[in-house]
Every structure is written in structure tokens, then in C-alpha cells.
């Protein structure tokens, strides 16, 4: 294993961040570990550190709305593996996270060895899921169709969709991405077409269906 890993831990609970930090500290040789307590900080850490090897993402931290946070992060840096670390460890959430591009899912109830093992699996190019779990298939045809549509978005379109979900205007998105408003409008048009909706509001509502409801329903 390489010795100079760089990790981002995105979780709003200092105690749990500490536990993850402990698990990561023994991987490689003195890895760099960046901590983020909210979603804005997590995104900023990714933008500032192009060479991040792995992100550990909590789905319910401030600023993150369930799985739509994963979509936004994947759009921001599509090459970096993301492991979702969540207390919402029901099969539906795990399967959807993996289908939306997560490289793994670790339950917050997992022990230190399981957490470390999952991280090493992903660093080795594998997919980490909780043991003895049958992920099955998506029962909700609408969600299945939506995931398929999201998978057709380019990284830049995915990033724009994440920004739409945050309520940013075209002008603000253009500033963030350092592109013209016309380019943003073209991205938004392409997103609406791929998602099969007529307005950005409908696009955000669709994304929230995948992001929030299964998590809240799971308690």
C-alpha cells in the first residue's frame, strides 16, 4: 500500500470523526486526514485537494440532504472514491448509494476492524458493503428510472444538478464553475432533458425523492 494517502472525513459528529480518524491512521504511513463538519466544508476540502484518495461521507450532516449530497460530491470530483458512512443502513439506502456511484457503504454501527477493512477494500479498487447483506433490486420503478437517468449525466452536469438542489441561481453557478451563464443554461437544459422534466424545480424535487425520503423513513 502506498504510504502518503490523503483522506477527507465528512461528518458532523466529532466523536465519530475521531473514530474514523483512528481507523484511517493505521492505513499507509502517516496519512493526511482532513476533517469536515458540514457539507460546505467537505466540498471546499475536495476543491482544495485534487489529490484526495478517499472521502468518507455522512449522509445527514448539515448542508447535505441524503443521497443527493453523494450526487453533488461525485459531480465535484468524479474520480475520487466515496464511501458513505451512515446510521441509515437499510438495504434501500445502501443499494441506491452504490448505484449513484459510491464505492462503498459502512454502517455507523460497524466495529473498527470492519471500518478499516471496508476502507482498505475500496483503496484496493473494490466495493465495500456490510457483510451478509442481500442488496436485491430496486422495487420502485420511478426511482430505478431516475437513477438510470442520473447515471447518464456528465460530471459537470452532475455538479450543476447538485448546485440547483442547493438553490443556486444560474449566475451563482456560472461564478462557481468559472463559466458563462450561457454555458450554465446549456447544462441546465441538458439536465432537464436527461431527467425528463420541464423545470429546474421539478429536477430538484426528483433529486429529493432519491435523497431524503428513504433516509427519513428509515428513522
Segment 76-89, tens digit of pLDDT: 888 899 999 988 88
Considering only 3-7, 117-121, 132-136, 147-151, which range has the smallest mean pLDDT? 132-136
Q: Give the DSSP letter string of the chain.
A: --S--EEEEE-S-HHHHHHHHHHHHTSSSS-EEEEESSHHHHHHHHHH-TT--EEEE-TTSTT--THHHHHHHHHH-TTS-EEEEES---HHHHHHHHHTT-SEEEETT--HHHHHHHHHHHHTT--B--TT--------HHHHHHHHHHTTS-HHHHHHHHHHHTT--HHHHHHHHTS-HHHHHHHHHHHHHHHT-SSHHHHHHHHHHHHTHHHHHT-
Q: Are 104 and 121 in contact (CB under 8 A)?
A: yes
What percentage of the chain has pLDDT greater than the value 70? 95
**What average pLDDT does the chain have?**
87
Domain boundaries 141-217, corresponding CATH code: 1.10.10.10
State whether CATH 3.40.50.2300 applies to domain 6-123.
yes
pLDDT at residue 167 above 80? Answer: yes
The position carrying cell 431516475 is 146
Q: Would you state the pLDDT for residue 218?
A: 32
Q: Model pTM?
A: 0.84
Residue 156 C-beta-side C-alpha neighbours within 13 Å:
14
Say if residues 67 and 94 touch (Cβ distance below 8 Å): no
Quick: pLDDT tens for 184-216: 999 999 999 999 999 999 998 888 887 644 333
> Which cell is 216 given?
427519513
Sequence-distant (≥ 6) Cβ neighbours of residue 188 within 8 angstroms:
160, 164, 170, 200
> What whole-number distance in Å separates Cα of residue 107 and Cα of residue 190?
35
Band (133; pLDDT cuts 50, 70, 90)? confident
d(CA 88, CA 110): 12
Domain positions in the chain are 6-123, 141-217
Distances (CA, A) of 190 to 14, 67, 154, 186, 193: 40, 21, 10, 6, 5
Question: In the structure grid, which three cell numbers stand for residue 6, read together?
Answer: 490523503
Amino acid at each position: 500500500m502506498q504510504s502518503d494517502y490523503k483522506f477527507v472525513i465528512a461528518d458532523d459528529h466529532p466523536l465519530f470523526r475521531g473514530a474514523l480518524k483512528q481507523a484511517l491512521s493505521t492505513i499507509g504511513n502517516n496519512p493526511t486526514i482532513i476533517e469536515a463538519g458540514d457539507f460546505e466544508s467537505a466540498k471546499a476540502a475536495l476543491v482544495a485537494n485534487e489529490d484526495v484518495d478517499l472521502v468518507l461521507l455522512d449522509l445527514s450532516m448539515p448542508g447535505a440532504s441524503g443521497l443527493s449530497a453523494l450526487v453533488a460530491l461525485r459531480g465535484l470530483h468524479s474520480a475520487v472514491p466515496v464511501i458513505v458512512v451512515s446510521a441509515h443502513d437499510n438495504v434501500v439506502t445502501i443499494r441506491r448509494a452504490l448505484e449513484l456511484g459510491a464505492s462503498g457503504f459502512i454502517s455507523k454501527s460497524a466495529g473498527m476492524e470492519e471500518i478499516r477493512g471496508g476502507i482498505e477494500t475500496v483503496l484496493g479498487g473494490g466495493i465495500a458493503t456490510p457483510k451478509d447483506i442481500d442488496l436485491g433490486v430496486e422495487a420502485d420503478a420511478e426511482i430505478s428510472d431516475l437513477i438510470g437517468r442520473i447515471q447518464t449525466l456528465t460530471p459537470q452536469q452532475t455538479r450543476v444538478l447538485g448546485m440547483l438542489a442547493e438553490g443556486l441561481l444560474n449566475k451563482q453557478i456560472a461564478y462557481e464553475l468559472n463559466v458563462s451563464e450561457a454555458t450554465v443554461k446549456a447544462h441546465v437544459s441538458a439536465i432537464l432533458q436527461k431527467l425528463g422534466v420541464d423545470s429546474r424545480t421539478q429536477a430538484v424535487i426528483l433529486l429529493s425523492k432519491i435523497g431524503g425520503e428513504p433516509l427519513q423513513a428509515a428513522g
